[in-house]
Amino acid sequence: MAAAKGRLMLDTNAVNAFLKGLSPGLDTWVREQRCCLSSIVVAEIRYGLETLPPTSRLQALVENTLQTLEILPGQKPAPGCTAGCGPISNATGRRWRRWIC
């Protein structure tokens, strides 16, 4: 987690822990709006939800959580930070652009 505007920016693992109720401290931070998310984390979460039916309880919980927290725009990656990553298919790229842009 990194600081953002005096708050904690949650990564995907922290959001998963919150959704599963694994961290009472994190529950408090979210309730007090001391946390935020990057648009990249939101895209990762929505990408994972694509396999679930739209009526799933988890999907509703995630959408409610996303409406509660501030979502900050993603930043341009530093040069070379994607070195070693495999290619992304056109279909996957289109889905990611839809969530991030």
Instruction: Give the per-residue pLDDT at 3.
Output: 47
**Residue 81 forms part of a structural domain:** no
Q: What does the pLDDT look like over 71-83, one tens digit per residue?
A: 888 665 555 554 4
**Residue 82 forms part of a structural domain:** no
Instruction: Give the per-residue pLDDT at 60.
Output: 87
Identify the three-state secondary structure at position 21. coil
- Does residue 39 contact residue 10 with C-beta atoms inside 8 Å? no
**Residue 16 forms part of a structural domain:** yes
Count of domains for the chain = 1
